[in-house]
Amino acid sequence: MPIGEAVLSSFMQALFKKVIATAFGELKLPQDVAEELEKLSSSLSTIQAHLEDAEERQLKDKAARSWLAKLKDVAYEMDDLLDDYAAEALRSKLEGPSSDNHLSKVRSCFCCFWFNTCLFNHKILQDIKKVEEKLNRLVKEREIIGPNMISATDRKEIKERPETSSIIDDSSVFGREEDKETIVKMLLDQNNSNHANLSILPIVGMGGLGKTTLTQLVYNDTRIKEHFQLRVWLCISENFDQMKLTKETIESVASECESAISGVSSVTTNMNLLQEDLSKKLKGKRFLLVLDDVWNEDSEKWGTYRRALLTGGKGSRIVVTTRNKNVGKLMGGMTPYFLNQLSDNDCWSLFRSYAFVDGNSSTHPNLEMIGMEIVKKLKGLPLAAKAIGSLLCSQDTEDDWKNVLRSEIWELPSDKNNILPALRLSYNHLPAILKRCFAFCSAFHKDYVFEKDRLVQIWMALGFIQPQRRRRMEEIGSSYFDELLSRSFFQHHKGGYVMHDAMHDLAQSVSIHECLRLDDLRNNSSSARSARHLSFSCNNRSQTSFEAFLEFKRARTLLLLSGYKSITSSIPSDLFLKLRYLHVLELNRRDITELPDSIGSLKMLRYLNLSGTGIAMLPSSIGRLFSLQILKLKNCHQLDYLPQSITNLVNLRWLEARTELVTGIARIGNLMNSWMNSWSVQTKDTRSVN
């Protein structure tokens, strides 16, 4: 079942901070507006208490999902309101009554300006009150529905994966022999130690890649059994409790030694006694300890547990499986072993063993061909091959198999598919601030190659990046991306980055009706008209029309991607009057040759990418985009000059254009000097001038 509103809590946190910042910030609000914003912040604080419960229950509770959808609409309404107010305040400041020699003209202009400002403030005040009323109604609705208690079993099902053990049926494993041999040799190499007696090997990879399975193969290898005097397997998962972990290690060591001495672990809660007990049991013994599925990033917790392990014999090893390479780094591990996807052949062998009786597909040639196409979509993910193979084992019609082929992972039956829950655990562990950044990436099509800097700039324009003292926003956003990369949400690919298809499905599941790819007809339904982030990709010569975008009046993002072969219609003159909430606009089409003057009405626009278009001139109205931070004009070969009005873009921090376009503008140096700490000009020879 689609998750949909799972990203809302992080949005609400950001909105709460934004309301506070607006009420007490630099805008110098009228007192009545500031007071109303204070009341609104109180309502937001109240509703947060209901939000966590509703998000946990939405998978099984239709009422919770409906309530979250209504809350999301109100939250966006408030966010748009704040952005509108900030943009209008900036525009009023920059376009207010200017000096003039004719006194009566000055007075007339000032009166008109004052009157418009009062009208705008009154409207804002009324709109804030309406939003507050809606929030209060939602609080009452939630109280009437009641937070039906979710059972402990259900909570565990949502949050945790099942515990693992060291037992494995190696006949059902394909394509991991080379990985196994490499790791066995690393563990047996006596010179491969990063401590006197103990070394730690992290095995890193995204959820469902087979880290646990590979480690089970290694753990049960004959050479490993003969080399290590003790072998201990512990499944850690989310809760890294040092005392519990120490007790479990003692019990496992005692069991491995077949010791008749019970020790102190079963009766004491004294951590010192437990550590002394474990230290004695391990002393002088060469051991292999597997810590499966580690999420802990608290170095103090790890340090406390680790101290008792240092008495082991020389050559002792710890193997850690994790989705986050930073975990291994924190634990003082050697260079991580990054696990790759299975080859298509190995993935097919694994899929076939689950989908066909005795793994024999030859008796069903038609299903075999469909199955091979399904496997290509799985991109070497073993968990997906097992889950979908098992799902299809009991279905023997071509239509059933074709339906699975056409489906995304998140559309498959939830009761027979553990892929998405396994990946959802990675999402649950993300800091709230990163959840929106990740979910937004579903606006891009599968196999899209991301440029880190470009994605960070878009996040920045959408308000996803939270300021941190004196750090530049680009630097903060870069650290966000690096964190997602370290947690296996992205993978390196040919100078850029890609998302595994299953990760993309995860992003789509948590952002459904939030992000919409208009080229994907399955998702282009009437229920998706509230989408805020739109994209359109076209790899053929079909028509790209802007008419389809007009009904998404609350859209914040419009991306035209990979459509250089398509035929693009001219931009309607009123498009930007209707899509007035756009923050991000990217138009990568060679046959776009003109921008309408209405571009100047996008007072919330912060990111404009016209790279690769055939535009010959920019309208002077572009100088009214006072909120614009990023302007990209790379490979705009028909563009001979920039309008003088570009010097009005007081928030511009990145201009990507040919050198001669920039140097020909009078007073451009003043703009650069005004924003020396953040301004960059990217020229055609790729050097950055600061």
Q: Which pLDDT tens digit goes with each residue over 159-187?
A: 456 778 888 888 889 999 999 999 999 99
593: in domain: yes
Query: Is the per-residue pLDDT at 679 higher than 60?
Result: no
Buried b (16+ CB within 10 A) or exposed e, 7-21: bbbbbbbbbbebbee
CATH number of residue 331's parent domain: 3.40.50.300
Residue 424 lies in a domain: no
Q: CA dist 477 to 59, 432, 463, Å?
A: 31, 14, 11
139 in the same domain as 19: yes
In a domain? residue 1: no
Confirm whether 165 is domain-assigned.
Answer: no
pLDDT, average across residues 317-333: 90
Same domain, yes or no, for 535 and 552? yes
Q: Is the pLDDT of residue 415 over 90?
A: no
Say what the pLDDT of residue 688 is: 37
Which of 360, 383, 418 marks a domain boundary? Answer: 418
Beta bridge partners of 537: 561
Domain-terminating residue out of 135, 157, 179? 157
Question: Model confidence at 606, in pLDDT bands (50, 70, 90)?
Answer: very high
527 and 668 together in one domain:
yes
Evaluate if residue 98 carries a pLDDT over 70: no
Is 423 part of any domain?
A: no
Number of domains in the chain: 5
Query: Where residue 479 sits, what CATH number does that domain have?
Result: 1.10.10.10
The pair of structure tokens assigned to 240 is 């890294």
152 pLDDT above the threshold of 50: no
Strand-pair partners of 203: 321, 337
Note whether residue 371 is domain-resident: yes
pLDDT single digits (tens) 361-405: 888 899 999 999 999 999 999 999 999 998 898 887 899 999 999
Whether 413 and 499 map to the same domain: the answer is no
SS3 call for 471? coil
Full-model pTM: 0.85
Q: Cα 417–421–423 angle (5° rounding)?
A: 115
Locate the DSSP E strands across 283-336.
287-294, 316-322
CB atoms within 10 A of CB 461: 25
pLDDT band at 563 (very low <50, low <70, confident <90, very high): low
User: Same structural domain for residues 492 and 543?
Assistant: no
Q: Any idea which residue has 């008419």 for tokens?
A: 547
For residues 182-200, one letter each, b for 16 or more C-beta atoms within 10 angstroms of the residue's C-beta and e for the rest, the string is ebbebbbeeeebeeebbbb
425 lies in a domain?
no
532 shares a domain with 485: no
> Is the same domain home to 521 and 505?
no
Residue 195: predicted pLDDT: 56
Length of the chain: 690
Q: Give 627-650 pLDDT, tens digit per residue.
A: 999 999 999 999 988 898 988 898
Give the whole-angstrom CA distance, residue 389 versus residue 353: 8
Domain boundary among the residues 157, 185, 209 is at: 157
In terms of DSSP H, where are the helices of 407-500? 419-428, 432-440, 452-461, 473-486
pLDDT in tens, 33-88: 888 888 888 888 888 777 766 776 666 667 877 888 888 889 999 999 889 888 88
Specify whether 529 is located in the same domain as 677.
yes
Class of residue 606 by CB neighbours under 10 A (exposed 0-12, middle 13-18, buried 19+): buried
Supply the mean pLDDT for the chain: 83
Name the residue type at position 307.
Answer: R
**Do 535 and 637 have their domain in common?**
yes
- List, in order, residues 6 or more apart from 553 with CB less than 8 Å away: 578, 579, 580, 581
pLDDT of residue 57: 67
pLDDT per position as a tens digit, 450-497: 999 999 999 999 999 988 888 999 999 999 999 999 999 999 988 899
One-letter amino acid at 201 equals: L
Domain extent for 504:
430-510
Which H/E stretch holds residue 508? helix 501-510
Pairing of strands 630-632, 607-609: parallel
Find all residues with CB under 8 Å of 499, minimum gap 6, and list them.
441, 446, 448, 450, 489, 490, 491, 507
Higher confidence at residue 169 or residue 292?
A: 292
**In CATH, what number is assigned to the domain containing residue 557?**
3.80.10.10
Q: Are residues 505 and 516 in the same domain?
A: no
Pair (551, 655) in one structural domain: yes
163: in domain: no
**668 and 533, same domain (yes or no):** yes
| Gap between the Cα atoms of 269 and 595, Å rounded | 71
